[in-house]
């Protein structure tokens, strides 16, 4: 057993240390008792009226120097009996804490899996040799060491209290591999809720890895989550709000979806209920709830998912954060940016009176300059963005060498099939389109073929990184109105689909960095935890949002913008596969004779030397006090 964290001293029989206070108390008692006087009758020539009987024992204890010598001797003997030893080797150990989203799962009413992991890590350090040194890692939002150098056990335990769960996945397998490749550690001890089988197909980890599963309660770990939310046109209604909920349960469960609107007051957002719907969720199967003719009139909205009160045995929702979803109406202006070698008038866009267009130069192609919310959409005409955009975009005639083109341009082509149900083809007869030249398109994973030709896809639309994107392999400009009605209808449909009012509340990896002009700070208005947090902006333009919830970006002139941030990952929300067993911590290997130096003999020898010196000193004092000896 180690005596002190970070000090390479240990004892074999720790119970023998209890003799130290006993020896200390006994020694004090002996010295106090030695000072008590005895009553004796002696002759006297003194005549006194009254003789007070007064004790001559000591009222206060003032130990002489020899007291401390005797105390040291007794302490050395006691330490020798306890088996004091000096640890030779200092082991370097990596401690990896899984702080991913799933570690928010509650094992009791007030304790999460992360709390349990930190408790076990502290217990492991307490039960390990004090000479060990540790490097502390966390998995999320990415693998990161919390210190640049090895720390003692005491310093490592103090850092454990600073770890919090993040809205991100863990990538435990990759983290263990990276740590193991450094070759700096005798052991890698991982505290996570994941099974070993989930990390590698054969269930094997590096030989020096210890993977204790966390102690779990026997309660049902049912978890409900909102897996997605979308807003847009629907065949049956002008606008439809679609909410998908999923129950990671062991049986069918009845749940409630509550939609709330937020109106802002001087004290912050005030949420009020708009509607409530009851749904049945089968284990692991998403259930869609559709709200027809939804009109976004409030500043912000919040969706809550919870077990219905009739499910008395299933009222335990393990993770709260994924049962909420925030979204806000799109606050972008109706201006559309244009990046093209042609002017607005040359493309006929000045004929469209319902929209405003602004010509942008090539230097404004940078993503960070186009995410300020100044434009509802961007048109890339005969060029492409440097990266896949996060904002609504129209790409017309991408270059042949771009990733969107599948081949060289072809002459006049024939349309083969199309998706007539899509909003882009509303009030349009596709065969009426006259395509003189076509660049066949390569369909990305997020894209849908809206118009296809015998030469290849001609028009693609979809949602990429939470933004609407349309790619046209044929020229749709200049806009000519009635002179070319079919192509004009298609152009207007595309611009309407890109710019129509939408809702933003997308799933993003947290932390998320956003840029705005003259941005001073961001306030977390509503969240499961840490509401009221303020984050300062960097260089008056960039701020990093570190938690899901409803955020307020503070701009110049008391202006502001609302941003909704949500997180969902089925692998993190589905905790049904976490094994509910109790396991012990990895056993600490007993120190062998090669790992420690016994100090028993040294303690006995030192005590004997002090005792000899003390005896010689006492003998010298005694000989000087013999009768007839002149002092």
pLDDT tens track for 314-324:
556 889 889 99
Cα gap 551→557, rounded to integer Å: 18
Tokens of 250: 């062991």
**What is the model's pLDDT at position 47?**
54
Residue 191 contacts residue 117 (beta carbons within 8 Å)? yes
**What is the model's pLDDT at position 29?**
77
Cβ count within 10 A of residue 302: 22
**What is the model's pLDDT at position 90?**
66
Burial (0-12, 13-18, 19+ Cβ within 10 Å), 120 = buried
Cα gap 206→96, rounded to integer Å: 14
Locate the DSSP E strands across 527-581: 534-536, 542-545, 549-554, 560-565
Cα gap 273→249, rounded to integer Å: 27
Cα gap 573→568, rounded to integer Å: 7
> Distance between alpha carbon 189 and the CA centroid of its chain, in Å?
20
Residue 231 contacts residue 502 (beta carbons within 8 Å)? yes
Tokens of 56: 């001559």
pLDDT in tens, 582-610: 334 444 444 444 555 666 677 777 778 87
* Residue (of 53, 34, 594, 574) closest to 322 by Cα position: 574
- Please, which residues bridge with residue 97 across strands? 138, 191
| Percent of the chain whose pLDDT exceeds 90 | 26
Cα gap 463→445, rounded to integer Å: 10
Question: Could you give the dihedral angle defined by the CA atoms of residues 335, 339, 340 and 344, in that order, rounded to the nearest 10 degrees?
Answer: 20
Residue 437 contacts residue 410 (beta carbons within 8 Å)? yes
Burial (0-12, 13-18, 19+ Cβ within 10 Å), 387 = exposed
Total count of residues recorded for the chain: 631
- pTM for this prediction: 0.59
**What is the model's pLDDT at position 515?**
78
**What is the model's pLDDT at position 311?**
53
- Strand, coil or helix: what is 452? strand
Cα gap 257→226, rounded to integer Å: 9
Residue 134 contacts residue 157 (beta carbons within 8 Å)? no
Q: What does 50-117 look like in DSSP terms, one character per residue? A: -------S-SS----HHHHHHHHHHHHHHHHHTTEEEE----EEEEEE--SGGGG-BSSSS-BHHHHH
Tokens of 594: 């090669």
**What is the model's pLDDT at position 112?**
87
Which DSSP state fits 380? E
Tokens of 549: 């919830």
Cβ count within 10 A of residue 537: 20
**What is the model's pLDDT at position 495?**
92
**What is the model's pLDDT at position 491?**
95
Residue 468 contacts residue 498 (beta carbons within 8 Å)? yes
**What is the model's pLDDT at position 488?**
93
How many C-alpha atoms does 324 have within 13 Å on its Cβ side?
Answer: 18
**What is the model's pLDDT at position 184?**
84
**What is the model's pLDDT at position 582?**
37
Which domains does the chain carry?
2-87+599-623 (no CATH), 92-218 (3.40.50.410), 222-327 (2.60.40.10), 335-501 (3.40.50.880), 508-563 (no CATH)
**What is the model's pLDDT at position 197?**
56
**What is the model's pLDDT at position 171?**
81
**What is the model's pLDDT at position 501?**
57
**What is the model's pLDDT at position 449?**
94
* Residue (of 154, 147, 144, 138) closest to 192 by Cα position: 138
**What is the model's pLDDT at position 580?**
43
pLDDT in tens, 57-71: 455 666 777 777 777
**What is the model's pLDDT at position 442?**
93
Tokens of 159: 């850092």
Tokens of 15: 């119970």
Which DSSP state fits 593? T
Low-confidence residues of the chain: pLDDT under 70: 1-12, 16, 33-62, 85-90, 195-205, 207, 211-220, 232-239, 266, 309-316, 330-333, 362-374, 466, 501-509, 577-600, 624-631
């Amino acid at each position: 057993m180690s005596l002190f964290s970070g000090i390479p001293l240990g004892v074999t029989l720790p119970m023998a240390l209890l003799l130290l206070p006993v020896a200390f108390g006994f020694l004090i008692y002996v010295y106090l008792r030695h000072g008590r006087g005895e009553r004796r009758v002696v002759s006297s020539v003194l005549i006194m009226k009254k003789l007070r009987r007064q004790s001559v024992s000591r009222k206060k204890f003032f130990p002489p120097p020899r007291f401390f010598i005797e105390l040291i001797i007794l302490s050395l003997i006691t330490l020798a009996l306890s088996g004091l030893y000096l640890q030779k080797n200092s082991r370097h150990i990596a401690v990896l804490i899984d702080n991913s989203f799933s570690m928010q799962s509650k094992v009791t009413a007030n304790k999460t899996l992360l709390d349990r992991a930190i408790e076990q890590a502290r217990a492991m350090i307490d039960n390990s040799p004090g000479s060990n040194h540790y490097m502390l890692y966390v998995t999320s939002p990415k693998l990161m060491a919390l210190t640049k150098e090895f720390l003692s056990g005491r310093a490592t335990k103090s850092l454990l209290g600073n770890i919090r769960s993040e809205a991100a996945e863990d990538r435990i397998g990759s983290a263990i591999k990276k740590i193991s490749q450094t070759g700096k550690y005798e052991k890698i001890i991982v505290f996570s809720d994941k099974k070993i089988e989930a990390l590698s197909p054969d269930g094997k980890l590096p030989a020096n890895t210890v993977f204790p599963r966390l102690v779990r309660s026997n309660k049902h770990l049912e978890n409900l989550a909102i897996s997605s939310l979308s807003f847009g046109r629907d065949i049956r209604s002008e606008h439809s709000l679609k909410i998908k909920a999923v129950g990671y349960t062991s049986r069918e469960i009845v749940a409630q979806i509550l939609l709330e609107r937020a109106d802002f007051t001087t004290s912050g957002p005030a949420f009020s209920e708009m509607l409530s719907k009851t749904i049945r969720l089968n284990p692991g199967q998403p259930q869609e709830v559709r709200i027809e003719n939804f009109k976004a009139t409030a500043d912000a909205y919040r969706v809550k998912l919870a077990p219905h009160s009739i499910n008395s045995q299933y009222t335990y929702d393990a993770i709260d954060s994924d049962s909420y979803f925030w979204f806000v109406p799109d606050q972008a202006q109706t201006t559309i940016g244009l990046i093209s070698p042609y002017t607005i008038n040359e493309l006929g866009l000045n004929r469209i009176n319902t929209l405003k267009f602004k010509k942008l130069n090539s230097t404004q192609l940078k993503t960070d300059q186009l995410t300020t919310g100044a434009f509802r959409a961007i048109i890339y005409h005969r060029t492409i963005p440097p990266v896949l955009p996060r904002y609504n975009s129209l790409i017309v005639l991408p270059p042949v060498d771009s990733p969107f083109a599948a081949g060289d341009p072809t002459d006049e082509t024939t349309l083969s099939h199309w998706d007539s149900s899509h909003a882009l083809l509303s009030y349009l007869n596709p065969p009426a389109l006259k395509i003189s030249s076509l660049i066949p398109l390569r369909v990305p994973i997020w894209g849908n073929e809206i118009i296809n030709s015998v030469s290849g896809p001609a028009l693609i639309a979809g949602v990429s990184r939470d933004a609407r994107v349309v790619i046209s392999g044929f020229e749709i400009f200049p806009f000519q109105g009635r002179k070319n009605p079919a192509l004009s209808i298609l152009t207007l449909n595309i611009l309407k689909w890109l710019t129509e009012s939408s809702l933003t509340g997308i799933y993003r990896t947290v932390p998320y960095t956003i840029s705005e002009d003259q941005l001073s700070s961001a306030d977390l208005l509503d969240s499961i935890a840490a509401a009221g947090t303020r984050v300062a902006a960097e260089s008056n333009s960039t701020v990093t949002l570190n938690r899901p919830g409803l955020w307020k970006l503070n701009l110049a002139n008391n202006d502001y913008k609302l941003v909704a941030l949500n997180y969902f990952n089925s692998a993190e929300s589905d905790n049904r596969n976490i094994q509910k067993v109790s396991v012990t911590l990895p056993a600490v290997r007993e120190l062998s004779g090669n790992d420690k130096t016994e100090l028993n003999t040294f303690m006995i020898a030192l005590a004997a030397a002090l005792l000899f010196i003390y005896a010689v000193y006492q003998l010298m004092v005694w000989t000087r006090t013999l009768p007839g000896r002149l002092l």
